[in-house]
A and B are shown apart, each in its own frame.
Chain A
């Protein structure tokens, strides 16, 4: 067996599929994207080289700016709303023990199991001003007006609620696993020392969860940046472009307005932003690691 693995042909044959996938499914499309980003290609006919024109347009494009702001809002929502709640819920779940623990764990994870398309339509109905659950509940409480949850001012918040709610289960599950991995001896020692639940959480659970939090926060920010399917199905960026996100905007420009060149330029800028954010996050976490 040892000899087999030292045979170059075998090594090559084992590496080749992965290499081919990387070359043709990842690297080549990125290179093509960069190329088309410099053209006014419409998806048909000849691609005309227009230099930096697409990138100049992109810099002035208010809708792209709006998309990035919305992504940022979502990332903030994930980090400061979704994740703190997820950690607390995970910690509480851990304390529940027994059957209840399993039941609640399942309940919290259900939204993640349901298809995004179903989730989007479900919320579309919940938010509907005429027959939606939310307005009907308000009516039952005596409020007579019809609230438009997807007006230009409120739509982004309505969308954020759905996204935060939908991604909650994942975050919680990862935190929950992290908490389960903490050595119970530490909790015993703390309780012998007379620590209450809050300080146990703050002094033991949270610090030991640091690596898990790092992974989760990075994933949350990346998922905020590449958010597409829920928004596409829920509002498709509307009304106006008030709930536009970068990936959805890219799709609209490339496949609806048939500005493939411009769409590719958005894609390139998008990749650069994602890379920068990842590098930046790694740096923050790396600096704090020794502490």
Chain B
């Protein structure tokens, strides 16, 4: 009897401990720190009981799962996203929104996992082939009705990256412009002028180097900013970008002389000391710090960093003097100063398998009402949306914001998706790693172009 009792006890204890083990794993997975904060902020507003089922559809309790690539919910775009979510919850008390937010790399990995066993209802996506092709082929995103967005003020062409076979699967959040941020005061103090041509930029780099300052801080460790630099040069040399890049990727052949010229020009610039020593192994934060600490005169980065002008962590002397200019024209190139590297990258979509698809689309449309994401984004200086923002100009914008607005308004053409994001993800990975070798002269422009061509096969 005693033995049987012991046996039963032991077996039960073991089963319980196993169950407990499983339970705790599941709960740690479900609560990343970011999701935690978000969950607190969006605590279930409704206390509907089971009889809610009897009431009308609009008051049925609905839980929307939002999967976002903006883990910082207190600053920048994450804050804007959370603001709109909070407003939506206040307006729709029957809705509960659970946000899970991860940074980009972790986000993309988990996105693929979700794609296999059920997506959250509303997800962040990128309207670029390197990300979206596989996703659309797997059929995990719901089709949207393009006509619904006719009066949302989307900038012309900004929806293109989110379409396949003429059908719309997502909406863009930002318009990104690539630029050289520069320290205006440092330029004036030293008598340096904003370069109008690429040769002037290289000559300026020599002057800046001679003054013991880094000319351009470059996040070369990541590869993608250099790929965008290449896009910028292709635009200035060829006048257009998207068409020749798509063609090269489709044929897995980068023999077009424009690519060679752009790559060689880029490599020459890097080797002539345009960027900081060891740029090809330094990350985003290090490059940005060089600029915001005044150790570098310029910083090559996208318009999403225009909130630097309001960042209290940067000393006032530098913060208030940050200005921007776009890639100068290349001698003999077909691109004008107003042909710029700009594109509509990140955005949102709804899961095709969502059980509350209608509510999810309703929420998506709410996000994109012109006076939500777009307006709040503008007012908080977090860069430009893919929608018309002229109505929100208040006069209290930072100089940088106005500059970027001018650059966009005066643009005669935009590059579209940068070269690294135009092909499959294998192409992107190879390109972002090989461009480091091409820039520092370890491999020749020809070898670089051959290897990125091979990656398209």
Contacts and interface: CB of A to CB of B under 8 A. Distances in A.
B7 A130 contact: no
A129 interface: yes
A43 B436 contact: no
A9 B11 contact: yes
B433 A45 contact: no
Interface stretch (B163-171, B199-207, B366-374, B423-431): B423-431
Interface string A115-139: 0000000001001111100000000
Interface string B284-313: 001000100001000000000000000000
B221 interface: yes
A288 B24 CA distance: 48
Contacts of A238: 221, 223, 280-281, 433, 436
Nearest to A260: B112
B442 A152 contact: yes
Interface in A228-244: 235-242
Contact of A252 (B14, B135, B429): B429
A249 B105 CA distance: 15
Nearest to B4: A7
A261 B7 CA distance: 46
B276 interface: yes
Contact of B6 (A4, A149, A259): A4
Contacts of A129: 276-278
B3 interface: yes
Interface string A244-261: 000000001101111100
A148 B115 CA distance: 42
A44 B286 CA distance: 35
B280 A7 contact: no
Contact of B440 (A124, A237, A239, A256): A239
A130 B14 contact: no
A239 B14 contact: no
B214 interface: yes
Given A45-B134, A240-B436, A241-B433, A4 B105 contact: no
A240 B437 contact: yes
Given A13-B11, A130-B295, A258 B112 contact: yes
Nearest to B283: A124
Contacts of A45: 134, 137-138
B285 to A, nearest CB: 10
Interface in B101-152: 105, 108-109, 112-113, 115-116, 134-135, 137-138, 140
A257 B426 contact: yes
A150 interface: yes
A13 B437 CA distance: 57
B433 A14 contact: no
A257 B428 contact: yes
Contacts of A240: 433-434, 436-437, 442-443
A42 interface: yes
Instruction: Please give me the 6 A-B residue pairs with the lowest Cβ-Cβ distance, nearest first.
Output: A150-B281, A240-B437, A257-B429, A129-B277, A43-B112, A239-B280
9 contacts: A9-B11, A13-B10, A124-B283, A152-B442, A155-B281, A238-B221, A239-B220, A240-B443, A255-B105
